[in-house]
């Protein structure tokens, strides 16, 4: 089977590997579409803390079940599915506490185990989440990135009456903006970015105010509009943002951090305390696939507007070059394994 293998940092090849057989409890997916994520670029460059080489990468993918291992219902063969890449142990404290996405023995498909940039991929049966007919194959491959937004918005307990501020209208910010507007129906949604084309996109996706922070003061714009954000999501992920967010937040606000920079942020405890602010981190997703698939079924989000490019899997090097050379022109780039 055609597979995209990262053999070592900066060495990625399309290779022919044997089609894997599902072990007990697993299903085999015939992959149709897979999305390229920022973390795939980090793996490619050798900057990912958990990956071991060689690795078939890819953790955002969908297709159909074409074989099942022992103990799995054979009637599942043929089912169209999106794959939740979170594989957990079920035994450790986080698992028992209902937080499998931070399992102590976490195995992320495409990072710790072979991923979906291949014609076939085996995963535990519970990771293959059925997709209804009204959600097409391309949309199904974007369930994982939208699940990142779903997890953060569930952590921060978004409400329709929130005044939300989203930093960053790149691919991660876009999933958050679509969900805040289309799913949660927020009327007061402020988006800050440094790139006009992304802000234009945010405006047509439901942002009520957009701020280009290279030219406009975010604090000034909020003050002028009389808005004080009760929910702030940092999808731009620079360490300085959380410092500014503490100043802009309303008392009792929740602040969600989506980045994983290793640089420190200077957060004075007094500022958190004075407004009784809550900071939330969010990693991967905690069983959010059915929820996101529901959003897609009900047309509450627009996966097709999230997908900017599509390449045949054999053009993966071209796709990576586009993402790295022209990131502003890209949102989600899909590989087609048909």
Least distance from Zn ion to the Cβ atom of residue 247, Å: 31
89 binds Zn ion (CB under 5 A): yes
Contact 13, 111 (CB under 8 A): no
Give the residue with the Cβ less far from Zn ion, 163 or 285.
285
Q: How far is the CB of 105 from Zn ion (least distance, A)?
A: 5
Establish if 62 lies at the interface with Zn ion (CB under 5 A). Answer: no
CB of 59 to Zn ion, least distance (A): 6
Helices 289-297 and 143-155, interaxial angle, to 10°? Answer: 110
Question: Binding pattern to Zn ion, positions 254-273, x when CB under 5 A?
Answer: --------------------
Least separation in angstroms between CB 226 and Zn ion: 37
The footprint of Zn ion on residues 31-60 (CB under 5 A) is: 37
Q: What is the DSSP string of 196-235?
A: HHHHHHHHHTT-SEEEETTTS-HHHHHHHHT---SEEEE-
Total number of residues binding Zn ion (CB under 5 A)?
A: 6
Nearer to Zn ion, 33 or 254 (CB): 33
Q: Is 190 in the site for Zn ion (CB under 5 A)?
A: no
| Binding segment (CB under 5 A) for Zn ion, from list 75-83, 97-105, 133-141, 325-333 | 97-105
293-297 contact pairs (CB < 8 A, 24+): 293/82, 293/129, 293/131, 293/132, 293/135, 293/140, 293/143, 295/146, 295/150, 295/179, 295/182, 295/183, 296/134, 296/135, 296/139, 296/143, 296/146, 297/132, 297/134, 297/135
Nearer to Zn ion, 83 or 218 (CB): 83
Considering the rule CB under 5 A, would residue 141 count as an interface residue with Zn ion?
no
Q: Is 1 in the site for Zn ion (CB under 5 A)?
A: no
- Token pair of 232 as six digits: 């702030």
**Shortest distance, CB of residue 158 to Zn ion, whole angstroms?**
21
Under 8 Å between Cβ of 261 and 241: no
Structure tokens at 203: 């405006």
By CB under 5 A, residue 285 contacts Zn ion = no
Please give the residue whose beta carbon sits closest to Zn ion in the complex.
Answer: 37
Question: Tokens at residue 296, please?
Answer: 């897609």
Name the strand (E) or helix (H) holding 188.
strand 188-193
Instruction: Kindly state the smallest distance separating residue 123's Cβ from Zn ion, in Å.
Output: 16
Residue with tokens 């490019």: 309
C-alpha to C-alpha distance for 144 and 60, rounded to whole angstroms: 6
- In whole angstroms, how close is the CB of 94 to Zn ion at the nearest point? 6
The CB-of-49 to Zn ion minimum distance in angstroms stands at: 15
Among 15, 92, 267, 272, binds Zn ion (CB under 5 A): 92
103 near Zn ion, judged by CB under 5 A? yes
| Identified binder of Zn ion from the candidate list 84, 88, 163, 282, rule CB under 5 A | 88
Strands 163-167 and 188-193: parallel
Tell me the C-alpha to C-alpha distance, in Å, between residue 283 and each of 181, 286, 307. 22, 8, 22
Give me the residues that bind Zn ion (CB under 5 A), please: 37, 88-89, 92, 95, 103
């Amino acid at each position: 089977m055609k597979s995209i293998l990262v053999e070592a940092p900066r060495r990625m090849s399309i290779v022919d590997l044997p089609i894997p057989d599902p072990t007990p409890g697993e299903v085999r997916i015939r992959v149709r579409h897979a999305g390229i994520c920022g973390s795939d670029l980090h793996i490619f460059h050798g900057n990912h803390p958990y990956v071991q080489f060689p690795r078939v990468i890819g953790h955002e993918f969908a297709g159909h079940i074409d074989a099942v291992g022992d103990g799995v219902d054979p009637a599942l063969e043929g089912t169209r599915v999106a794959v939740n890449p979170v594989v957990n142990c079920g035994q450790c404290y986080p698992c028992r506490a209902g937080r499998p996405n931070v399992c102590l023995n976490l195995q992320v498909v495409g990072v710790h185990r072979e991923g979906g940039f291949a014609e076939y991929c085996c995963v535990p049966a519970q990771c293959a989440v059925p997709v209804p007919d009204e959600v097409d194959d391309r949309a199904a491959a974007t369930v994982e990135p939208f699940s990142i937004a779903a997890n953060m918005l569930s952590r921060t307990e978004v409400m329709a009456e929130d005044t939300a501020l989203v930093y960053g209208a790149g691919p991660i910010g876009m999933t958050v903006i679509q969900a805040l507007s289309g799913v949660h129906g927020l009327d007061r949604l402020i988006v800050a970015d440094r790139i006009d084309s992304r802000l234009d996109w945010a405006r047509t996706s439901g942002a009520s105010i957009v701020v280009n922070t290279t030219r406009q003061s975010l604090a000034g714009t909020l003050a002028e509009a009389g808005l004080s954000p009760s929910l702030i999501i940092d999808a731009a992920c620079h360490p300085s943002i959380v410092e500014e967010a503490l100043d802009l937040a309303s008392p009792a606000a929740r602040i969600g951090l989506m980045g994983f920079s290793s640089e420190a942020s200077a957060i004075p405890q007094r500022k958190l305390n004075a407004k009784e602010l809550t900071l939330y981190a969010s990693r991967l997703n905690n069983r959010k696939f059915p929820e996101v698939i529901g959003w897609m079924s009900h047309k509450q989000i627009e996966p097709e507007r999230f997908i900017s490019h599509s390449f045949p899997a054999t053009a993966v090097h071209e796709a990576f070059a586009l993402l790295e050379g022209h990131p502003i022109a890209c949102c989600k780039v899909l590989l087609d394994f048909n």
